[in-house]
């Protein structure tokens, strides 16, 4: 009985010592890493918002040239509305939230790809200087989205490694403070930006 009690006391003391020695360092570093990942998620959302902001201008410019494509234009506007209605709390990104966010953004990407394919049939639209600049800006924005998503994953990785490694995992289980963050994983077939390059000619 005494040996069992001593063993329990020893284990508790060991955990307490580990917590006292590495606890503050673990906690402070985890906070710093999580803040970095949270801030980077803001950059991801900002890049997606930039794309959403471009779409009304693209649609309005195209209306005067592609008047017979109203259904396609409407689908893009509807997809944009869905995409902008889904927001994520960056301090608590759950798999369900991230999946929903990815789903609506993928839907917008698909709608945009169809729209741009339709625009290829309108040479007068492609010759419009304002339209050219909007498409160029869309291409830059799609590239920025990919960059910011990759950077987000790069900031999530060290946080997850930090809280999972021994003995940090023991401390983290004891304080119950930090959960691993989800990576942004593009769905199959949507890991590349929509093709937005046009042959504008010279």
In a domain, 193, yes or no: no
Q: What share of the chain is helix, strand, coil (3-state, %, to 5)?
A: 75, 0, 25
Residue 59 belongs to domain spanning: 15-175
In a domain, 185, yes or no: no
- Report the distance separating Cα 55 and Cα 20, nearest Å: 54
125's CB contacts (< 8 A; 6+ apart) are 61, 62, 65, 66, 119, 131
Q: What is the pLDDT of residues 145-188, one digit of tens each?
A: 999 999 999 999 999 999 999 888 888 887 777 889 988 876 65
In a domain, 184, yes or no: no
Structurally, how many domains does the chain consist of?
1
In a domain, 38, yes or no: yes
In a domain, 201, yes or no: no
Q: What is the value of pTM for the model shown?
A: 0.80
In a domain, 160, yes or no: yes
CATH number, domain with residue 164: 1.20.1440.20
Q: What is the pLDDT of residues 47-85, one digit of tens each?
A: 999 999 999 999 998 888 877 788 888 999 999 999 999
């Amino acid at each position: 009985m005494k040996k069992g009690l001593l063993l329990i006391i020893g284990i508790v003391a060991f955990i307490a010592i580990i917590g006292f020695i590495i606890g503050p360092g673990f906690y402070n570093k985890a906070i710093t890493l999580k803040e970095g990942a949270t801030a980077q998620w803001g950059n991801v959302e900002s890049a997606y918002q930039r794309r959403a902001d471009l779409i009304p201008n693209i649609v309005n410019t195209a209306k005067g040239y592609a008047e017979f494509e109203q259904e396609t234009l409407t689908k893009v506007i509807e997809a944009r509305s869905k995409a902008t209605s889904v927001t994520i709390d960056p301090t608590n990104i759950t798999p369900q939230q991230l999946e929903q966010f990815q789903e609506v953004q993928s839907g917008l990407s698909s709608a945009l790809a169809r729209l741009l394919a339709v625009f290829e049939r309108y040479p007068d639209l492609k010759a419009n200087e304002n339209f050219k600049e909007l498409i160029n800006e869309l291409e830059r924005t799609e590239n920025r989205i990919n960059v910011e998503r990759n950077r987000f994953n790069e900031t999530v990785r060290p946080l997850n490694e930090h809280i999972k490694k021994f003995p940090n995992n023991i401390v983290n289980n004891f304080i119950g403070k930090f959960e691993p963050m989800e990576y942004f994983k593009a769905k199959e077939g949507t890991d590349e930006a929509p093709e937005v390059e046009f042959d504008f000619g010279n």
